[in-house]
Amino acid sequence: MTGRMKTQFGMRSLAILGSALAATQMSFAQEVPSRISWAPSYSGSCTDCPLAGQNLSGWNLSDASYPGADLTAASLRGVQGHNTNFNDAIAQGADLRHADFTGASFENAILIGAKLQFGQFNNSQMTSTDLSGAHLENGKFIGAILTDAKLRAGQVLEADFSAANLTGATLTAANLTGSVFDNAVLVDADFFEATLTNVSFRNARLAGANLEGTIGIESADFEGACASASTRLPISLELMDCAPY
């Protein structure tokens, strides 16, 4: 009799313990997020990585190397990517809004139609980067190297390119309303048919640049800016000659 009671008590204790463990497991499962939102760090190296359409939002990619990566339509929103290497990457239509790519390299990368609003690209390397039709509103490109970059028909409202180098850059038909190019190097840059309403070119170097056919140039600020004999300016605008480097 006593043995039977002990057995029944033991079985009931095991049942209670099992229920408690099951409840704990269920609670833990419910706490696991359905998507990665805790900013994991992936500071590795991956050449030609197939990341098209992937959701990398909030990840930390600082000091990583992803040359030639396929980031077509991928989400890198809010990414931390200091000094990351994205040279030759294909990121057409990618979402880089609010990301911080300070000091990163996007040389020869394709970001056609990409979203870079409120992104930080200060001191980044973007030589020959194709940003045609991209959205750069409120982006920061202070001190960035954008030589021979393409920003055709881009939406570049209120972006900051202070002290950036855009030698040979193509900004034709881009909407640059309210953007800042103070102390920027704009040698041989092409602004044909770009919107320059309230743009600041203070102390900018515009030798050989093309500013013909632009829209709203009468409201732009050219204080301290310089040009050269080969600079194409509207008849109404005169700039002082640039001193030799």
**Average pLDDT of adjacent 10-residue blocks, the chain of 245 residues:** 42 40 36 38 81 95 95 97 97 98 98 98 98 98 98 98 98 98 98 98 98 97 98 94 87
Neighbours of 31 (CB within 10 A): 7
Query: Is residue 165 situated within a structural domain?
Result: no
Give the pLDDT confidence score for residue 44 in this predicted structure: 80
- For residue 70, tell me if it sits in a domain: no
| Residue where the block lists tokens 């005169």 | 238
Provide the residue range defining the domain that includes 13: 1-32
Count of domains in the chain? Answer: 1
Residue 45 has what pLDDT? 85
pTM of the model: 0.83
Q: Is residue 160 part of a domain?
A: no
Q: Given this model, what pLDDT does residue 6 score?
A: 41
Q: How far is CA 192 from CA 97, 206, 245, in A?
A: 27, 13, 26
Q: Is residue 197 part of a domain?
A: no
Token duo for residue 62 = 């600082």
User: How many other C-beta atoms are found inside a 10 Å radius of the C-beta of residue 215?
Assistant: 16
